[in-house]
Structure 1
């Protein structure tokens, strides 16, 4: 798994779809999976290792209405953000889409910058919601409530705000290591009074909570002048499935 955010893009307009996919991936922030129909989207979602952080979904598709598909996703427990694309943006149309479970509505034609901004907002909102769940090693991680659960041992681990933020950022960057200074800036902001020693202290305490042997870290490892989460392939697959 890379630091790119996996997005499912469903639109039957090939030119628009390919242009959107290209622009979304240009800065390395997103990895886009394309689908030209609802049937193809369903296949993508049902794949064993499927993981999507958001769905961009056209309203009018050759094999059905995107709003009905969105409602079906919600009924099946898919909670990630869904942004609808539509050529009709009258009030009744928007209300119907929102009632189907869509998080936002973007009318065509639209500016790419606007779509990106709305997508990022929805991703941030979801990550801080009660619904966001990530798998980290043997743990189920719920960042909104700063909680790790280890089902095999029926154990719950309470995290501090900074510990939860460290885990969430490392999870997003996996499998790439995050340099200490970057992690420090992301979690504490650009605060001159906070040093890398502060980060190292938090890493030490976090390892005391999550590692079987904190002196020989196997989950939260030191690498390349920073840290990364060492997630086995089977655990990564579980994470993807969990977050569909």
Structure 2
């Protein structure tokens, strides 16, 4: 389940928004930008999107957004505001926000816009994907396990294998398909090459590589067990 960070100083409104988001997302709440940055640094890519409620002062939205962007956080950021002046909208978007949603809005509209931005974000190289207990960031060639606070470095081919298996959404992928997609047509590349990469990946990501629970063999291929 994707994690959404909700920044809102109004506790009553924040609780209401969190309740509406909870059926679809894991929600983390913060009072302000400073608290939000502490969470985001600790999550190491485990947050999929940020919602910032500007309150009565439209200027309260762009500043936290600008601060997050300046630190390199690239997930979708949506501003929620009562300010409808063109200057406020422009300031919000110029601060790095992906969307500016005017109040009042319905929860179905907010959820639909959030899902739309997550779909777009998921197609980018910088998008963070969840693989079992790990936050997978292809652009950084790493997996981060928050529970153990550890980072696993990956090779380019390991990243490509994990990306393709993740895109299959739990369905098995045949060996010949992975060979073609990751290595391309090359008569010198055999299934042994793929099997070696799978073995190395299991050494990195499985608690017991001899009894894999996350990266599974399935007939003549492999799949990711996201429930692991």
Q: Scaled by the length of structure 1, what TM-score is found?
A: 0.62
The RMSD of aligned alpha carbons is 4.1
Paired residues for 1:148-159 under 5 Å? 155-157=155-157, 159=160
Question: Of the candidates 99, 102, 107, which is equivalent to residue 107 of structure 1?
Answer: 102
The unaligned stretches of length 5 or more in structure 2 are: 144-150, 180-193, 203-208
**Mapped contact 1:220–1:227 kept (Cα < 8 A):** yes
Q: Which residue of 1 aligns with 2:184?
A: none
CA distance in structure 1 between the partners assigned to 2:32 and 2:78 by the alignment: 16
Instruction: Tell me if 1:211 matches 2:184.
Output: no
Q: Which residue of 1 aligns with 2:38?
A: 43
Give runs of ≥4 in structure 1 deviating > 4 Å.
133-141, 147-154, 202-207, 213-217
Q: Which residue of 1 aligns with 2:187?
A: none
The unaligned stretches of length 5 or more in structure 1 are: 171-182, 185-198, 232-244
Q: How many residues align?
A: 192
Residue 149 of structure 1 and its aligned partner are, at CA, apart by: 7.5
Paired residues for 1:33-72 under 5 Å? 33-47=28-42, 51-60=46-55, 65-72=60-67
Question: Of the candidates 13, 16, 19, which is equivalent to residue 16 of structure 1?
Answer: 13
CA distance in structure 2 between the partners assigned to 1:129 and 1:61 by the alignment: 34
1:9–1:148 Cα change, 3 Å? closer
Residue 169 of structure 1 and its aligned partner are, at CA, apart by: 6.0
